[in-house]
């Protein structure tokens, strides 16, 4: 039980760091996409929710296709995760 309680401090720091980065990217994405996709990027809450959807890969293709259909030229390309490479035992 004491180990679980000690790990909560580390987990708290990681969660705060994760939400700090999520907020920073939400500010950037809102500024980039609020005119072309106001349904998803009109408020900070909607933007954070959309980013959370993208991080968890929940309907990311729907978000991508609707943004492309609306003519949004900006597209972010992230490097592929090493966990997704073929031959990775994990």
Q: Where are the domains of the chain?
A: 2-71
pLDDT for 77 equals 47
- Fold designation for 2-71: Helix Hairpins (1.10.287)
pLDDT tens track of the chain, all 90 residues? 788 888 888 888 899 999 999 999 999 989 888 888 888 889 999 999 999 998 888 888 888 888 778 776 555 544 455 555 555 554
pLDDT for 4 equals 83
Q: pTM (2 decimals)?
A: 0.67
pLDDT for 74 equals 53
Contact 52, 23 (CB under 8 A): no
How far lies 36's CA from each of 21, 33, 73, 90, in Å?
Answer: 23, 5, 10, 38
């Amino acid at each position: 039980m004491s180990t679980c309680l000690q790990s909560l401090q580390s987990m708290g720091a990681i969660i705060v760091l994760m939400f700090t980065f999520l907020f920073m990217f939400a500010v950037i994405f809102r500024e980039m996409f609020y005119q072309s996709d106001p349904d998803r990027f009109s408020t900070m809450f909607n933007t954070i929710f959309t980013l959370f959807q993208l991080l968890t890969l929940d309907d990311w293709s729907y978000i991508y296709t609707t943004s492309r259909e609306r003519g949004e030229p900006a597209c972010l390309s992230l490097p592929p995760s090493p966990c997704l490479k073929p031959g990775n035992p994990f």
